[in-house]
Amino acid sequence: MDLDKLKKDRKLLRGIDRNAATRSTLVSFAHVMVYVLVCWWGTLATLKPGVTITLGILLVAPSIWRTVRVIRFDHAYGAAPTRWRHTFVLVHLLHAACYSLFCFVALFLLHDNAYGWFFLVFTLGTVLVSVEIWRPYRRVNEATTVILMGPLVLGFLLTGGVHGWVAAFSFLPIIAYILRIIKCSYDAHWQSLYHQFLSLEKSKDLETLDRKLERVGEGRIGLLSDLTHEIRTPMNSVLGLLNLLKHSGLDESQKEMVSVAQHAGNAMLTLVDDILDFSRIASGTIALVSSVFNLRRCVEDTLELLGPVAYEKGIELSAVYDRDVPVRVRGDAHRIGQILNNLVSNAIKFSDEGEVIVTVHMTRLSAEDGLLRIQVIDQGVGISAQKQDELFRAFHKADASTTRKHGGTGLGLAISKGLVEAMHGQIGLISEVDKGSTFWFTCQLMLSTQQVATMPAIKAFLGQRALIVGAPPGLSQSIKQELDSWGIESNSLNEGYDKALQRLREYARQSREYQLLIANFGHQYTGILKLVKIVSEDPVLGRTRQILLTTLEQRSIPAVKATVTRSENVVLVTKPLQRRQFYKALSQLYGVEPRTRVLTHSVDRADADCHPSCHQSFSVLVVEDDKVNQMVASGMLNRLGHRVKVVDNGDEAVRALQEQRFDLVIMDCHMPVMDGYAATSAIREMESGGAERVPIIGMNADTADGEETRCLAVGMDDVMLKPVTLEELDSKLRRWLLADNLETGVGSRSPEAADPSADDE
């Protein structure tokens, strides 16, 4: 069978047409949801009710017609396959045109760039999905892409001013690349099917067919990986310049517009990464990396990243661990963190108050294997029983009304489900409307033999009594659990600072005084500072040791700083609570370690924006071939107060290091002449002759599995994924350059040496 005959095979085309019709109809309803969303949020229905109704009819009518045709597929298709196909494609393109017309009209009438970015990000996502759906039909795919994206770009040109022109011209190369992907995908699809049929005709060997299908799936993932790389490279320039622009003396209105653009750009990158992960899961090519890791640290690091978002909404974030949870396990820490990040992000997104509590349990299945169970409990809007069964499907959102308010791509839970199943686990939820939700997942892990001793109870801790004030139930339970493991008896009180002061004085009179006060500076607990001040100055209670729990933002409040400055017995600990920092605070209060007033597990985000004098100045070599990315990297490094030299490729970098000493090298991985991998290998070989070793941080836009391992294998010390932010760059420089880091003394040349407590629980 030749390729032309294959393309006319009725049985094959029937399956292709059924699949395309079903999946594209689902996408059409997503367009209808966008219409409802914009009409609900915006003022389009008020401004132009007649236009709004007309556009709604134009969107809904084709969707209903397509649904009917899909339901009656067998009857209608069997009668006249070619006519059915031509009619369906015509209606599909008509629907795409109606959706684009709606986006253009909304953008033109509302004159709001925020809607424009929303339309661009969402439409790009549906275009990428359509590329997969209509892969066998190249012309349909190309027409769909142009019809969906063209009017939006035109709308930005007509209504967006200078920013709109920049945005429009930025998306033109993306559209061109998608059209190129469509052609490659079309050719690969039919060539693959052709070879499959040849294999079946010659050998009827199903095992060979499976291998062919697997290669097709890998090729599809390769195309998506290339697309991700091509999008990340220009987005590094766009977001990098926006980051620099944000710190260039703009007024508040301009800063807000830049922030909206940054948010939209980050949303697009998240969507692209989610689609790539989803495609890997769907094709069965998801790769898991097994390594020994600290389970508690994995959870704490995830909560640390999400803490600022939670505290900005006034939501407390805490974790509670079973006593039997081991210190170290073997599994894929990155994927477990990704699942937890998705669940906690959703919990924060759909909550307006209260707590988000993460509970961690481990059940031993054998001497070597265990079943990890993590629950994420929130007090948010909840989910009805009717919606729960379909919640883990791609692009499904439980409730359109809450989605309008909170947003989201609808892929996070589907990806989490795929990752959990790849780790031989399950995922589910328990929820009730207006009473919150509990999402849980399990996965199988190996119990590592590389266990270390838990943090011991110091003699000074034993027999001490602590009062916990102002902490909600989850945070209070977490604190009590830690104190109990160190031999400290504790009670909690959440009835106001006056009641707490009364309790402290009453117990002091009875010679049952509390030696330790742990006060939570909560979102609405304004009296807590007054309590800390009174206890510090009271002649009877003045010796009480105090820990004040604050967020990063609350640390900079003048009243908080003044409270800590006035008393020698008060130490700040930053939330979300991490065990090693809590332990360090107690050790300092009881004189076991030297005193540090502020204990935090994260560099303050404001530090990245401080004057260059906050940093020691270093000489940095930037190796990057893209001129705009060179400007971004140089601008960020100059803002941080460092000296910069820029070269265009790896060969020039090797020569520059032979002529001049640099404190650090930032190396792009993909360059002409000599790429970053070859250049790093050449530099390390040069250093083996006696030259001083220079830290090399790689920059990579490729998100394919194994890329980070490849970077480290050739001799790079660390890797940054494009787009790089000012805060991330500052953090990397602190890690590899500063001799005296804020808390861990980072200045070493390996991650293990960078944190002496890396193996502590």
As a whole number of angstroms, the distance between CA 704 and CA 222 comes to: 8
As a whole number of angstroms, the distance between CA 179 and CA 172 comes to: 11
Q: Does 90 or 408 have the greater pLDDT score?
A: 90
CB burial readout 150-180, b (16+ within 10 A) else e? ebbbebbeebbeeebeebbebbeebbeebbe
Q: Note the pLDDT tens digit of each residue in 204-225.
A: 555 565 565 555 555 555 555 5
As a whole number of angstroms, the distance between CA 312 and CA 300 comes to: 18
As a whole number of angstroms, the distance between CA 5 and CA 292 comes to: 53
As a whole number of angstroms, the distance between CA 592 and CA 586 comes to: 8
As a whole number of angstroms, the distance between CA 676 and CA 378 comes to: 45
At 578, the amino acid letter reads Q
Q: Does 668 or 114 have the greater pLDDT score?
A: 668
DSSP label at residue 410: S
Which pTM value belongs to this model?
0.56
Tokens linked to 754: 């960078």
Q: Is the pLDDT of residue 591 over 50?
A: yes
Question: Rounded to 5 degrees, what angle do the CA atoms 492, 496, 499 make?
Answer: 75
Of 270-279, 296-305, 650-659, the least confident: 270-279
Which of 98-102, 240-244, 320-324 shows the highest mean pLDDT?
A: 320-324
10 Å CB burial of residue 80 (0-12, 13-18, 19+) is: exposed
CB atoms within 10 A of CB 659: 6
Asked whether 236 and 229 are in contact (CB, 8 A), the reply is no
| Residue in 247, 238, 66 with CA at minimum distance from that of residue 727 | 247
Indicate the helix (H) or strand (E) that contains 10: helix 10-41
Q: Is 48 helix (H, G, I), strand (E, B) or coil?
A: coil
Tokens 């309008």 -> residue = 404
Tokens linked to 300: 């704490």
Q: Is the dihedral of CA 570, 571, 576, 581 positive or negative?
A: negative
User: What is the distance of C-alpha 417 from the center of its chain?
Assistant: 16
Q: Note the pLDDT tens digit of each residue in 684-710.
A: 999 888 778 999 999 887 666 667 888
| Residue in 8, 708, 670, 578 with CA at minimum distance from that of residue 303 | 578
- In this prediction, residue 445 carries a pLDDT of 92
- CA–CA distances in Å: residue 633 to residues 43, 194, 373, 416, 477: 41, 47, 42, 34, 45
Asked whether 96 and 62 are in contact (CB, 8 A), the reply is no
| Helix axes of 206-246 and 627-639: crossing angle, nearest 10 degrees | 50
CB burial readout 718-733, b (16+ within 10 A) else e? bbbbbbbbbbebbbbb
Tokens linked to 445: 């892990």
Q: Note the pLDDT tens digit of each residue in 114-134.
A: 666 777 777 778 888 888 888
Asked whether 442 and 466 are in contact (CB, 8 A), the reply is no
As a whole number of angstroms, the distance between CA 111 and CA 40 comes to: 17
- In this prediction, residue 254 carries a pLDDT of 74
| Residue in 225, 363, 367, 306 with CA at minimum distance from that of residue 705 | 225
Q: Note the pLDDT tens digit of each residue in 148-165.
A: 888 877 777 776 667 667
Asked whether 465 and 514 are in contact (CB, 8 A), the reply is yes
Phi, psi dihedrals of residue 208, rounded to the nearest 5°: -65, -40
CB atoms within 10 A of CB 274: 19
| Residue in 532, 525, 530 with CA at minimum distance from that of residue 551 | 525
The bridge status of strand 437-447 relative to strand 465-469 is: unpaired
> pLDDT class for 748, splitting at 50, 70, 90?
very low
| Residue in 407, 406, 159, 113 with CA at minimum distance from that of residue 254 | 113
Mean pLDDT in residue range 351-376: 92
As a whole number of angstroms, the distance between CA 49 and CA 727 comes to: 46
As a whole number of angstroms, the distance between CA 635 and CA 647 comes to: 15
As a whole number of angstroms, the distance between CA 23 and CA 1 comes to: 29
Q: Is the pLDDT of residue 743 over 60?
A: no
Rg of the chain on CA atoms, in Å: 29
Q: Is the pLDDT of residue 18 over 60?
A: yes
Say whether the peptide bond before residue 81 is cis (omega within 30 degrees of 0): no
Phi, psi dihedrals of residue 377, rounded to the nearest 5°: -110, 125
Q: Note the pLDDT tens digit of each residue in 702-742.
A: 666 667 888 888 999 998 887 787 778 888 888 888 743 33
Phi, psi dihedrals of residue 545, rounded to the nearest 5°: -75, 140
Tokens 């004030």 -> residue = 469
Tokens linked to 278: 């989803």
CB atoms within 10 A of CB 477: 18
Q: Does 356 or 556 have the greater pLDDT score?
A: 356
Say whether the peptide bond before residue 723 is cis (omega within 30 degrees of 0): yes
Question: Rounded to 5 degrees, what angle do the CA atoms 92, 402, 37 make?
Answer: 35
Mean pLDDT in residue range 613-621: 73
Phi, psi dihedrals of residue 516, rounded to the nearest 5°: -135, 130
- Which residues fall within 8 angstroms of residue 496, CB to CB, at 6 or more apart? 527
- In this prediction, residue 353 carries a pLDDT of 86
- Which residues fall within 8 angstroms of residue 397, CB to CB, at 6 or more apart? 403, 408, 410
CB atoms within 10 A of CB 661: 10
Which of 13-22, 373-382, 397-406, 586-595 shows the highest mean pLDDT?
A: 373-382
The whole-chain average pLDDT of the chain stands at: 79
Asked whether 753 and 759 are in contact (CB, 8 A), the reply is no
Asked whether 578 and 304 are in contact (CB, 8 A), the reply is yes
User: What is the distance of C-alpha 602 from the center of its chain?
Assistant: 17
Phi, psi dihedrals of residue 143, rounded to the nearest 5°: -65, -40
Tokens linked to 733: 């420089």
Q: Is the pLDDT of residue 489 over 80?
A: yes
